[in-house]
Amino acid sequence: MNRKAAVFAGSLVVFAASASMAHADKLTLYCSAQEDWCQLMARSFEDATGIDVNMTRKSSGETFAQIRAESSNPKGDVWWGGTGDPHLQAAEEGLTAEYVSPMRDQLHDWAISQAESAGNRTIGIYSGALGYGYNSDLLAANNLPEPACWKDLLKPEYKGHVQMANPNSSGTAYTTLASMVQIFGEDEGFEFMKGLHANINQYTKSGSAPIKAAGRGENTIGIVFMHDAVKQAVSGFPVKVVAPCEGTGYEIGSMSIIDGARNIDEAKKFYDWALSPEAQNLALEVNAFQVPSNKSAETSESAPDMSQIKLIDYDFKKYGSSDERKRLLQKWDEDVSTLPQ
């Protein structure tokens, strides 16, 4: 056993060399946007304030799970990015802290209403509309017409060509389900989902997977957030983006301060900074095509033009609540997913 101890001690020394000794102002940032965007935000905040940022990037579901697991001894300070629903759920469970930023009057109404529906425990930082994208090469190869509306996707010729995520595992797909219920009404909305089910070739686990598959030519049509589809097109894949004619729902990417944050002052500084136009303009550098929440921040030219898209009045409070979510998902599980394809 002593020898083992010696080996262990030896490896400790190796490890010690790699440990940092910094002891300045610091901030632990949980980031749920794309990696390079997260990196850029962290580094730019460091440059702007001199506060050291420890950034971890995980998907919003993973981050929510982590914040929940850590709730009795929080390790993170700010949670930035990711779709709004988990932020709302975290607010509902009291995992995040109330904060009213002085920057608030510079924001779009949808960002503020997101904050109000969560008792000021979260705020909107960007938004993106739901839609779909298709691989134009594959569409042509299979002699399919170009779809323009949600109802087009129900046509029998698209059988086996449509992909969406499983609403049980993906926030994007849940937004799709909730949007259909709000556009068509609950009964007709579920009829739509049943019709769609017949044409679906796979329910993916992750929300943006359908359009990535379409980009690689593994799938024809993917139901996703439009900015994800634009990203594929800008990356060079033959993807066309569609804003459905019936109108569509949208997500609000959010930011929250974690309840019991160890560096609360730094967290507030980051919060205010992240709502400023300078910080939100950083999105342009990393091909993030969401619409920023600060009115004076710029939007990319490639981004879907929100003024041309028919947005529904999405009820985030109702459809973001745990009970409604549970009910809709159970109904989808029982009435839709069990049907033969």
Site for other proteins in 100-139 (CB under 8 A): 138
Q: Is 231 in the site for other proteins (CB under 8 A)?
A: yes
Q: What are phi and psi of 221, to 5 degrees?
A: -120, 130
Nearer to other proteins, 57 or 268 (CB): 57
Helix (H, G, I), strand (E, B) or coil at 304: coil
Question: Pick from 44, 106, 113, 168: which binds other proteins (CB under 8 A)?
Answer: 168
> Which residue among 147, 167, 222, 247 contacts other proteins (CB under 8 A)?
167
The answer to whether 232 contacts other proteins (rule: CB under 8 A) is: yes
Nearer Cβ to other proteins (6/245): 6
Binding residue (CB under 8 A) for other proteins from 48, 75, 151, 281: 75
E-strand stretches of 98-220 = 123-135, 162-165, 200-204
Beta-carbon count within 10 A of 46 CB: 15
Q: Name the one residue in this structure whose structure tokens are 């086996």.
A: 160
- Answer yes or no whether residue 9 interacts with other proteins by CB under 8 A: no
Burial status of residue 255 (CB atoms within 10 A of its CB: 0-12, 13-18, 19 or more): buried
Name which of residues 270 to 329 contact other proteins (CB under 8 A): 325-326, 329
Q: Provide the minimum distance between the beta carbon of 108 and other proteins in the complex, in angstroms, as a whole number.
A: 25
Among 44, 49, 66, 281, binds other proteins (CB under 8 A): 66
Nearest CA among 312, 245, 314, 282 for reference residue 46: 282
Q: How far apart (Å, rounded) are the C-alpha atoms in residues 231 and 229?
A: 5
Of the candidate residues 179, 201, 254, 294, the single one contacting other proteins (CB under 8 A)? 201
Q: Considering only residues 51, 173, 243, 336, which one is a binding residue for other proteins as defined by CB under 8 A?
A: 173
Minimum gap (Å) between residue 210 Cβ and other proteins: 12
Q: Are 99 and 302 in contact (CB under 8 A)?
A: no
